[in-house]
Homo-oligomer: A and B are copies of this chain.
């Protein structure tokens, strides 16, 4: 009986085709998310060697049974020590040149491996594999869509809880709990709940500050489903909003909407960033928009493509990216509005579901 793998068998040849120029006998994948993407293996440690004649997943004894269960069409090799495992696989297969993921190998490992494999040419590959996971297939999109729903549904039912007197930490704890109860495997990253002046830091950790009337409450959060992440930021105002809050919210929302309107296959990521930035600069607030406009989301919460001023990426149908302009006024407060979208041939589908019009929580 042939068991069906959870991943398409096309992923490995497709990844290899991007690497043709490297001219090596085999490729060594070390980023565990890439290993998962290419094989379906969900363990936390391992390495994948793909050559002209070999497809070998190397794991330690903890993961041998799991790898056999999860991975099909790829040989499983068990090691005691990872470096020794790589060495013996490379030697046994008489490989003379191996490309490796240089961003996923540390220098200690590299120096040991070089010493053990003296006659093998080790070729670092970094940007070549940067974007192999950027375009998602149907299964991946379904998982990301579900992750987005889990997260958004959890925050929506929590809105009544966000009121004067509760702390940032309380909100984060309750939100994480609801996501977990709603089938999230884990949270995408440590949930950010930043209120009042704390929201002037783009990535403040939730603390003991109590919500007050008139506060901005910025919540950046996500859920993981089948390994796939969601990412969304909602900025609410509690009780009443002042004039400046309304003005800046409306500006950030406009930047968000304009950038959105440019999202479709073929659009340049640099240009989308430029659109959001120009909008915010038009009100002299460019200096307060201190980060990129967005990023890809998938097995990692931050992955290719980047939507930023120096990005060379072009959007393709099937990419999933965030659009997240923000304005952070030092010592006052900040506003960020972030949605996650699926890029389509002629537009996009929004995968995060909390409405982004100015919401004043009563």
| A102-B106, A106-B102 given; A190·B186 CB < 8 A | yes
Task: Judge whether A181 and B190 touch: CB under 8 Å.
Answer: no
Q: Please, which residues of chain B bring their CB within 8 A of the CB of A102?
A: 106-108, 111
Residues 32-67 of A contacting B (Cβ, < 8 Å): 61-62, 65-66
> Which of the candidate stretches A70-78, A172-180, A312-320, A349-357 sits at the interface with the other chain?
A172-180
Name the residue on B nearest A126 (C-beta): B108
Contact among B62, B111, B124, B185 with A108 in the assembled complex (CB-CB below 8 Å)? B124
A260 → B minimal CB distance (Å): 25
Name the residue on B nearest A186 (C-beta): B190
Q: Please, which residues of chain B bring their CB within 8 A of the CB of A124?
A: 107-108, 111
Q: How large is the interface on A (under 10, 10 to 19, 20 to 34, 35 or more residues)?
A: 20 to 34
A197 → B minimal CB distance (Å): 12
Q: Please, which residues of chain B bring their CB within 8 A of the CB of A107?
A: 100, 102-103, 105-107, 110, 124
Q: Does A362 belong to the interface (CB within 8 Å)?
A: no
Within the oligomer, what is the number of copies of this chain? 2
Residues 159-183 of A contacting B (Cβ, < 8 Å): 172-173, 176-177, 180-181
Q: Does A202 belong to the interface (CB within 8 Å)?
A: yes
CA A110 to CA B109, docked complex, whole Å? 12
CA A135 to CA B349, docked complex, whole Å? 53
Q: Does A201 belong to the interface (CB within 8 Å)?
A: yes
Q: Please, which residues of chain B bring their CB within 8 A of the CB of A186?
A: 190
A304 → B minimal CB distance (Å): 15
Q: Please, which residues of chain B bring their CB within 8 A of the CB of A173?
A: 177, 180-181
Q: Does A226 belong to the interface (CB within 8 Å)?
A: no
Q: Does A274 belong to the interface (CB within 8 Å)?
A: no
Name the residue on B nearest A170 (C-beta): B181
A30 → B minimal CB distance (Å): 10
CA A176 to CA B291, docked complex, whole Å? 32
Q: Does A139 belong to the interface (CB within 8 Å)?
A: no
Residues 197-237 of A contacting B (Cβ, < 8 Å): 201-203, 205
CA A102 to CA B108, docked complex, whole Å? 5
Residues 85-113 of A contacting B (Cβ, < 8 Å): 100, 102-111
Known: A103-B106, A107-B110. 20 other contacts (CB 8 A): A62-B201, A62-B202, A62-B203, A62-B291, A65-B201, A66-B201, A100-B107, A102-B107, A102-B108, A102-B111, A103-B107, A104-B106, A106-B107, A107-B107, A107-B124, A173-B181, A176-B176, A176-B180, A185-B205, A186-B190
* 10 A–B contacts, CB within 8 A, in A order: A100-B107, A102-B108, A103-B108, A104-B106, A105-B107, A107-B107, A107-B110, A176-B176, A185-B205, A186-B190
